[in-house]
């Protein structure tokens, strides 16, 4: 198997570089995104403000390579996603990108630990030195995120509190040192204190691993904790309301 | 290259998480497989038992009718002989070169619905069933005196007979007979061990006894002559119903059969029991095939229940699929996950079904063997069971492709967002 991308090297080129990207769901459907330019530097932590329905999840889907742009180039961690097949994009995502959702991040029927090392099941590169090493890394991340690995590791995800689940999700996104973390409203289910603490932890971990972070939220008040803030409404030439999801 | 193992373990965990649904689905498959296997085992057992009804007999000779008809009345005691054959013809065939032994059979009387078979003591030595097993006495011994009788296992069990009991033979073969040869009661001297053949449902007396009770008018109450008088008489019958033939070498069977069938002085017919049995099975077996078809449809129902269980879970699992996709699972992984779940449910269900079937067979073995003559050894787990398990699992995987394909489409359309 050939590696689909070079190993992560935070210093070389932007982490994300979108140029002239348009996207619409389904053949003949109108564009929901039209972004002339959007870049995220290596290791940069960017806040992306977007109301619901502004197309932010669509944008994340494009960057993660789950969705395929109609036009333009989507370069992520030095790889031109539009030039890759769907299967290669899936592998690229498994190897290089960590994703945190709004809520229900975890497979409820898997223990927390198995959820954390799940990316390693789909990617040998993410697995690194093997599942045992990955699990050790997962326990270390959990501890750094303020959870007791011994208490949490074997519990089913559905038995954890929302706050615990989000931290487990963060550990899963960070495991295997991906070059880019995508976070889609990861704090909306948390109260204000847990939210700030969670963001601080996330930023710290991204800094430690050198990962770039794109943090999407409708809540502009969070922006001040980030290196840079962008408004999706300003990036996207399709007016809000016409964009979906 | 890394697809199979993680998907299988994920599928397994996913099944475990939906315990009750999974359990019920597995139970449905297990019961349906058990039903199917039981029907199949019963079919094989019944066929084997049927074909084992008589063995060690090279030819059966009777009046000319059809081979199946002769087999039915001479061996299965179903229906009546179209005609009798004369003692002279019997003697002539019995004396033909190559004939090792013959056993005459005279039918026409009954005892409480069970056929009375007039024969000789040789019957108990020569009649064999289930691959050359000889008849055995559970109690007592063959008939010795004129009015001695031997009862089959079912007769003795149903009517509660023991050796030494007296019974009265009735004229004709019906359940209720108005003419009983009650002047000449028989004494049971022996009771046969169960065979699972029509022998169990028969009462055996000597040919001479049959002759004696019909001496004074065929439909009368019997004969009033004393035993001493009767024993002094020549009670050799003029006619018998059929006779069994054993040959020195089975190679001569065809030639003798031809000779009997072209016997000039009387319309005779000789059949080879094996050939006639398989002809008869073609008729009887049709019902069994229908039963097997019904059982197969029950298995299909079990498989469809897997399909239902997975399809109904799909919507609530769209979020799971999106998570898996975000973690780098390919749509093919999603597809494989659901197919693997369907196949696993079917595999477990089928295995449980096989285990239950054979467990039940082991428990029921004594009854099956004693009452129906079905030998459990012939029903041991084998290729058949493996094929059923493989077939059910394969079919489930095939059916699972349908929900899997829907989930695959959903996961492509949903991407990372879940639009419920």
**pLDDT, tens digit, 9 for 90 and up, residues B17-74:** 777 888 888 898 899 889 888 888 877 777 777 777 888 889 999 998 888 889 888 8
Taking the CA of residue A221 and the nearest CA in chain B, the distance in Å comes to 24
pLDDT of residue A93: 85
Contact B18 A109 (CB under 8 A): yes
* Burial bucket for residue B92 (CB in 10 Å: 0-12, 13-18, 19+): middle
More confident residue, B354 or A146: B354
Rounded-to-integer distance, Cα A220 and Cα A233, Å: 13
Contacting B residues, span 295-354, partner chain A, CB-CB under 8 Å: 319-320, 322-333
pLDDT of residue A7: 45
Phi and psi torsions of A66, nearest 5°: -80, -35
Residues in A touching B333 (Cβ below 8 Å): 122
B79 touches chain A (CB under 8 A): no
**CB within 8 Å: B327 and A105:** no
Closest residue in B to A175 (Cα–Cα)? B327
CA distance A134 to A132: 5
Q: Is the confidence metric ipTM above 0.85 for this complex?
A: no
CB nearest to A57's CB, from B17, B413, B417? B417
How does B37-54 read in b/e, with b if 16+ C-beta sit within 10 Å? bbbbbbbebbbbbbbbbb
* B326:A109 CB<8 A: no
Q: Is A33's Cβ below 8 Å from some Cβ in B?
A: no
> Within an 8 Å CB–CB cutoff, is residue A57 touching chain B?
yes
| E-only strand ranges, A26-131 | 33-40, 45-49, 71-76, 79-80, 97-100
Q: CB B328 to CB A91 under 8 A?
A: yes
Query: How many Å is the Cα radius of gyration of chain B?
Result: 31
Full pLDDT tens readout for chain A, 245 residues: 344 444 444 446 788 888 888 888 777 778 888 888 888 888 889 998 887 777 788 888 888 888 888 888 888 888 888 888 888 888 888 888 888 887 667 888 888 888 888 887 777 777 777 788 888 888 888 888 888 888 888 888 888 888 888 888 888 888 878 889 888 888 877 788 778 888 888 888 888 888 899 998 888 888 888 888 888 888 887 776 654 44
> Are A208 and A43 contacting, i.e. CB atoms less than 8 angstroms apart?
no
Q: With an 8 Å Cβ cutoff, is B369 touching chain A?
A: no
Band (pLDDT 50/70/90 cuts) for residue B413 is low
Mean of pLDDT over chain B:
83
Q: Which residues of B touch A124 (CB under 8 A)?
A: 2
In this prediction the pTM is 0.69
Domains recognised in chain A with CATH numbers: 42-64+96-235 (3.40.50.300)
Å from B324 to nearest chain A CA?
A: 8
B162 CA to centre of own chain: 28
Q: Is A119 on the interface with B (CB under 8 A)?
A: yes
8 A C-beta contact, residue B251 and residue B112: no
**A110–B324: do the CB atoms touch at under 8 Å?**
no
B348 contacts B31 by C-beta, under 8 angstroms: no
Q: How many A-B residue pairs are in contact by the CB < 8 A criterion?
A: 85
Residue A162: other Cβ atoms inside 10 A: 14
Confidence of residue B409 (pLDDT cuts 50, 70, 90): confident
pLDDT above 50: residue B352:
yes
Q: How far apart are CA A230 and CA A173, in angstroms?
A: 22
- Which of B328, B329, B331 to substitute to test the interface with A, most A CBs within 10 Å? B328
> Which tens digits make up the pLDDT trace of B76-102?
888 888 889 999 999 999 898 889 999
pLDDT score of B1: 40
Q: Is the pLDDT of residue B119 over 90?
A: yes
Helices B4-17 and B331-372 cross at an angle (nearest 10°) of 70
Judge whether A56 is closer than 8 Å to chain B, CB to CB.
no
* Residues of chain A positioned with their CB less than 8 A from the CB of B416: 57, 60-61, 64, 66, 99, 101, 184
- The CA distances from residue B381 to A20, A132, B184, B378, B384, in Å, are 67, 42, 52, 9, 8
> Which pLDDT does position B80 carry in this prediction?
82
Q: So what's the pLDDT on residue A135?
A: 87
Q: Is the pLDDT of residue B174 over 80?
A: no
Q: Is A154 on the interface with B (CB under 8 A)?
A: no
For residue A14, give the nearest of A83, A102, A88, A73 by alpha carbon: A73
β partners of residue B202? B115
Q: Closest by alpha carbon to B283, among B80, B78, B74, B140? A: B78
CB B246 within 8 A of CB B86: no
Alpha carbon distance B310, B84 (integer Å): 67
pLDDT of residue B59: 92
- Report the alpha-carbon distance of residue B152 to residue B331 in Å, rounded: 69
């Amino acid at each position: 198997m050939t590696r689909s991308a070079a190993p992560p090297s935070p210093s070389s080129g932007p982490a994300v570089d979108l140029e002239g990207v348009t996207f619409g769901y389904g053949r003949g459907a109108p564009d929901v995104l039209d972004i002339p330019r959007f870049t995220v530097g290596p290791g940069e932590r960017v806040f992306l403000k977007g109301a619901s329905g502004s197309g932010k999840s669509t944008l994340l889907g494009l960057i993660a390579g789950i969705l395929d742009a109609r036009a333009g180039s989507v370069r992520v961690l030095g790889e031109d996603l539009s030039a890759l097949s769907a299967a290669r994009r899936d592998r690229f995502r498994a190897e290089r990108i960590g994703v945190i959702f709004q809520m229900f991040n975890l497979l409820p029927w898997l223990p927390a630990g198995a959820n954390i090392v799940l990316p390693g099941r789909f990617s040998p590169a993410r697995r690194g030195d093997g599942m045992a090493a990955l699990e050790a890394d997962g326990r270390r991340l959990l501890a750094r995120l303020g959870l007791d690995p011994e208490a949490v590791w074997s519990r089913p995800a559905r038995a954890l509190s929302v706050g615990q689940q989000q931290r487990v999700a963060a550990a899963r996104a960070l495991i295997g040192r991906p070059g880019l973390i995508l976070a889609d409203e990861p704090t909306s289910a948390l109260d204000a204190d847990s939210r700030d603490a969670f963001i601080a932890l996330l930023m710290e971990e991204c800094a430690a691993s050198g990962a770039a972070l794109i943090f999407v939220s409708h809540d502009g008040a969070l922006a001040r904790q980030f290196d840079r803030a962008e408004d999706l409404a300003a990036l996207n030439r399709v007016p809000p309301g016409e964009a979906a999801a | 290259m890394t697809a199979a193992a993680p998907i299988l373990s994920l599928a397994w965990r996913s099944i475990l998480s939906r315990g009750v649904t999974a359990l019920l689905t597995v139970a449905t498959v297990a019961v349906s497989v058990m039903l199917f296997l039981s029907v199949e085992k019963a079919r094989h057992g019944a066929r084997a038992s049927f074909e084992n009804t008589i063995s060690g007999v090279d030819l059966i000779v009777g009046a000319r009718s059809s081979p199946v008809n002769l087999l039915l009345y001479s061996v299965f005691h179903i229906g009546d002989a179209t005609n009798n054959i004369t003692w002279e013809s019997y003697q002539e065939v019995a004396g033909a070169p190559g004939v090792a032994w013959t056993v005459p059979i005279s039918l026409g009387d009954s005892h409480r619905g069970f056929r009375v078979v007039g024969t000789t003591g040789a019957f108990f030595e020569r009649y064999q069933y289930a691959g050359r097993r000889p008849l055995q006495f559970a109690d007592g011994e063959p008939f010795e005196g004129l009015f001695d009788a031997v009862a089959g296992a079912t007769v003795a069990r149903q009517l509660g007979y023991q050796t030494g009991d007296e019974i009265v033979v009735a004229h004709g073969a019906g359940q209720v007979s108005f003419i009983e040869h009650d002047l000449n009661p028989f004494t049971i001297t022996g009771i046969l061990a169960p065979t699972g053949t029509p022998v169990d449902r028969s009462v055996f007396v000597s040919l001479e006894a049959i002759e004696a009770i019909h001496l004074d008018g065929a439909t009368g109450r019997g004969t009033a002559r004393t035993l001493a008088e009767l024993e002094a008489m020549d009670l050799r019958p003029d006619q018998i119903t059929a006779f069994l033939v054993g040959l020195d070498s089975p190679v001569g069977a065809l030639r003798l059969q031809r000779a009997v069938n072209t016997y000039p002085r009387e319309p005779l017919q000789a059949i080879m029991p094996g050939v006639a049995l398989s002809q008869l099975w073609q008729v009887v077996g049709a019902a069994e095939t229908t039963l097997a078809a019904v059982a197969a449809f029950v298995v299909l129902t079990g498989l469809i229940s897997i399909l239902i269980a997975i399809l109904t879970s799909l919507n609530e699992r769209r979020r799971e699929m999106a998570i898996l996709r975000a973690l780098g699972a390919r749509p093919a992984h999603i597809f494989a996950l659901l197919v693997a779940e369907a196949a696993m449910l079917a595999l477990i269900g089928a295995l449980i079904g096989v285990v239950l079937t054979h467990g039940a067979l082991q428990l029921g073995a004594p009854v099956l063997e004693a009452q129906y003559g079905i030998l459990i050894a012939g029903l041991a787990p084998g290729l058949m069971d493996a094929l059923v398990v493989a077939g059910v699992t394969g079919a489930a995987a095939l059916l699972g492709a349908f929900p899997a394909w829907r989930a695959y489409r959903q996961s492509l359309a949903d991407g990372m967002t879940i639009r419920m």
